[in-house]
Amino acid sequence: MADNASKTNRPRLMLLDGHSLAYRAFFALPAENFSTTTGQTTNAIYGFLSMLANTLRDEAPTHLAVAFDVSRKTWRSERFTEYKANRSSSPDEFKGQVELIGEVLDTMHVPRFAVDGFEADDVIATLATQAEAEGWDVLIVTGDRDSFQLITDHVTVLYPTKGVSELTRFTPAKVEEKYGLTPAQYPDFAALRGDPSDNLPGIPGVGEKTAAKWINQFGSFAELAERAGEIKTKAGQNLRDHLPAVTLNRQLTELVRDVELNAVPDDLERRPYDRQALAVILDALEFRHQNFRDRLLAADPAGGAAEAAEAAPGVDVDGSVLASGELAPWLAAHAGAELGLATVDTWKLGAGNVSEIALAAADGTAAWFDPTQLDAADEQAFAAWLADAARPKVVHDAKSLLRVFAEHGWSADGIVMDTALAAYLVKPGRRGFALEALAVEYLGRELEPATEDGQLTLGADEQAEADALMRQARAVLDLGEAFVPKLEEVGSLELLRDMELPLSVLLARMERSGIAADREHLQSMEQQFADAVQHAVQEAHDAVGHEFNLGSPKQLQEIFFGELALPKTKKTKTGYTTDADALQWLADQTDHPLPVIMLRHREQSKLRSTVEGLIKTIAPDGRIHTTFSQIVAATGRLSSTDPNLQNVPVRTDEGRAIRRGFVVGDGYESLLTADYSQIELRVMAHLSEDAGLIEAFTSGEDLHDTVASQVFGVDRTDVDPEMRRKIKAMSYGLAYGLSAFGLSGQLGIEAGEARKLMDTYFERFGGVRDYLRRIVDEARETGYTETMLGRRRYLPDLTSDNRQRREMAERMALNAPIQGTAADIVKLAMLRVDEALGAASLRTRMLLQVHDEIVLEVAPGEREDVEALVRREMAAAVRLRAPLDVSVGWGRNWESAAH
């Protein structure tokens, strides 16, 4: 909490040591939990900003600045070449984060300083000295104890004592309590003690207690040096022997208080954030946690999150809350207008409801209504408007709206823009597409924050909440207009209108249909996995000789590396890792049964959790209604949630048994599954134009046997299973940007052998090699990759100075065109199949799309026609140099329909 100084009228300056705090934040938060899709680690950024938000809230400074180090070359290193020479280079994961912290601070209009030849502490000392002289209170936030010399009655140091989440307030009394010295005496004490972190040597036999005693006895280091001969002990002799070094220490620990700066304390008054720019960079860093963003925005000098926002010029909404009988006339008055549409709705277990609807026009008028209060004329007018393709509509997340509108018997046509899909096509790498964030980024406009469950609900102030929904509808409309030129710029306007919008209609229908589930079978599977888990627990206890918690990493570390003395695995901050890779390595390295038991326990636990999740999502209609997303995977692939059907294993016996729990529903004859054979490799052959690979596809022989015979120089009949395994891993690995190191890990061979295998492969298939080189070079020049159908993925990190980020971007550049093209082909196939089913007036319907596999529910008597239709439409989706090959299977459940 702020001290009494905050209650005075004195200006209050807060100064932060940027490098010191960022480094502490880096080690306080696990790097593996904080990274963007492009590979940029963000733990130091998150920790620093979280600390900053909390400290601004608690201390309420009127003025603020952050100082950073420029390099290790300073006046101190020139005077003492060994100064900080013992420090190792910063971890790769830390690199680049300080620069990004600076970019965030710029959007918050926080002044930052970095002066050649000086450390951040010197800058802070200069500003603190100036501010105190002008009668200000000063707060210094730093992890460097040298700053304690600056402490006075009006200068306080906030020193991190637990990561950066807990700060201890050091005042003159606190310094005296801890060290028995005044702040002015602290640099004398530090000189005697030495500082290993700065590589400043101490005096043998002289610790903190002796150093403090001498300073108290003689009053200062200068007096101690003058009278060093009075100390008759061995420590005194050591002092005299090391006096030149300690004297240098004293010079180096003194902070400079007159660094020439381009600003004075008066220039550091806090200014309102550039919220639009801040939102953009927070989105780029993929910081989506609302509490984090709210805390950061709450510290804005302009005021709280929503209160500080003002609508941009020309977007005032003249809204009306419509009563029964008023909607039909309102729609008639806006007959030719393009309208923005926003709703409050719910959807759970295959059922939903729309409780509020708002419409907005470009002329500033808007309307809100409760659909349950419509009279017959209103209901008819709204349904007609919604279904009229000639009356354009702009929405946010069309699929969700279409899905829930059908619950009311409404069908929708004429949706010309989906702002969520548009934002995704413009920036597919971002993690979130919330309307509020897009409004800030693209319109410079803030909308009222949603409630905890993401919905607005009418409460005591109905007019205010109706106004909020109408402003959302207007924001949707304006975003739609803003996205048109941006989509044209990235060549994705046709992709939106011809593929993604029609697909959202189909996906909404698929989500409503769901797929029938055999509850009894799944419950039996759950019990089977539960029994297997308990059996593994007992086996583990027997193997060790006592009970322990198999879910406790700490206990596992004690048992594996203490009791059992097994070989050490990779060292992490919390000890030696016991993750799946480590357990597999231990199983290969030792004969002890525990690693194998633990692997089986985790596998069975995961399977049990998967089946539990499936059972919980069986709706009252006996079907599972997954939710598909078009805006999660940057490559364009669809994802599945609630439940995630991509989590159901495909190639294991247990996974196949789970799939038997998905069955044909009442009134239908069978399930039919269809997918493309080796689609990624066919796309790679097409894009690379490699004649040898294309010939391998068109020969009619087994692809991997054919390729293996060419790579290893043997006859096809002499290709053994190990050769085939290596070539299969190689071929698919190249399509996914796999490196030689990754291939070696996948095949369990040395990296040198993996590199040799890749070189041999490329010698035979030079077109693939040249294509993979060319695609990265072209992406580095343009900044993006592109699929056959024009889907772009921007990769700015291809030119990054950070090796880790650059290599991650290069791998993405390798796989994005191949995976993205494959995803586009599957989407086209889905649309073609669905359109053909409708044209043929067949009752068969599409249910699922998982891992590039399409699942249909076939009506009685339609199987032969549907199979022919599916093969025809999927094969004709696009023309490739390595022609598409469609595999089809059918059966009473998902597993028996496999092919």
pLDDT in tens, 602-628: 999 999 999 999 999 999 999 999 999
Q: Lowest mean pLDDT of 237-246, 359-368, 421-430, name the range.
A: 237-246
pLDDT at residue 458, rounded to an integer: 44
Q: Lowest mean pLDDT of 230-234, 322-326, 521-525, 847-851, name the range.
A: 230-234
pLDDT at residue 200, rounded to an integer: 64
pLDDT at residue 676, rounded to an integer: 95
Write out the residue limits of the CATH 3.30.420.10 domain(s) in the chain.
Answer: 318-511
Among residues 624, 344, 361, 349, which one has the least CA distance to residue 458?
344
Q: What is the mean pLDDT of the chain?
A: 87
Q: Cα-flanking dihedrals φ and ψ of residue 141, to 5°?
A: -105, 110
Q: How confident is the model at residue 851 (pLDDT cuts 50, 70, 90)?
A: confident
Residue 872 has pLDDT above 60, yes or no: yes
Contacts of 300 (CB under 8 A, 6+ apart): 108, 272, 273, 275, 308
The CA-atom distances, in angstroms, between 166 and each of 50, 243, 559, 596 are 11, 37, 33, 42
pLDDT at residue 454, rounded to an integer: 40
What are the E-state strand segments in 623-695?
Answer: 623-624, 627-629, 639-641, 662-663, 670-676
Parallel, antiparallel or unpaired: strands 12-17 and 137-141: parallel
pLDDT: which is higher, 763 or 204: 763
Contacts of 876 (CB under 8 A, 6+ apart): 832
pLDDT: which is higher, 579 or 225: 579
Q: Could you give the 3-state DSSP secondary structure of residue 229?
A: helix
Q: Cα-flanking dihedrals φ and ψ of residue 623, to 5°?
A: -125, 155
Average pLDDT over residues 120-139: 93
pLDDT at residue 564, rounded to an integer: 93
pLDDT at residue 693, rounded to an integer: 92
pLDDT at residue 146, rounded to an integer: 86
Q: Cα-flanking dihedrals φ and ψ of residue 559, to 5°?
A: -75, -50
Structure-block tokens of residue 813: 């550049």
Structure-block tokens of residue 467: 């106004």
Q: Lowest mean pLDDT of 75-84, 112-121, 211-220, 482-491, name the range.
A: 75-84
Residue 553 has pLDDT above 80, yes or no: yes
What are the E-state strand segments in 410-499?
Answer: 415-418
Is there a cis peptide before residue 796, judged by omega within 30 degrees of 0?
no
Q: Cα-flanking dihedrals φ and ψ of residue 518, to 5°?
A: -95, 95
Q: How confident is the model at residue 308 (pLDDT cuts 50, 70, 90)?
A: very low
Q: How confident is the model at residue 869 (pLDDT cuts 50, 70, 90)?
A: very high
Q: What is the pLDDT of residues 312-355, one digit of tens each?
A: 544 678 899 999 999 999 999 999 899 999 999 999 988 999 99
Residue 356 has pLDDT above 60, yes or no: yes
Residue 882 has pLDDT above 70, yes or no: yes
- Residues above pLDDT 70, as percent of the chain: 90
pLDDT at residue 315, rounded to an integer: 67
- Residues above pLDDT 90, as percent of the chain: 55
pLDDT: which is higher, 649 or 503: 503
Among residues 618, 452, 461, 596, which one has the least CA distance to residue 526?
618
- Helices 691-698, 703-712: axis angle to 10 degrees equals 140
Q: What is the pLDDT of residues 646-680, one digit of tens each?
A: 888 888 899 999 999 999 999 999 999 999 999 99
Write out the residue limits of the CATH 3.40.50.1010 domain(s) in the chain.
Answer: 4-172+256-268
CATH superfamily placement of domain 318-511: Ribonuclease H-like superfamily/Ribonuclease H (3.30.420.10)
Would you say 480 and 417 are in contact if contact means Cβ atoms under 8 Å apart?
yes
Average pLDDT over residues 556-583: 87
Residue 450 has pLDDT above 60, yes or no: no
pLDDT at residue 195, rounded to an integer: 66
Q: What pTM was computed for the model?
A: 0.75
pLDDT at residue 3, rounded to an integer: 47
Residue 541 has pLDDT above 90, yes or no: yes
Domain at 4-172+256-268, CATH from 3.40.50.1010, 3.40.50.11540, 3.30.1450.10, 3.40.630.40: 3.40.50.1010
pLDDT: which is higher, 899 or 79: 899
Which residues partner with 784 through β-bridges? 794
pLDDT at residue 306, rounded to an integer: 40
Q: What is the pLDDT of residues 251-283, one digit of tens each?
A: 777 888 888 998 999 999 999 998 888 888 888
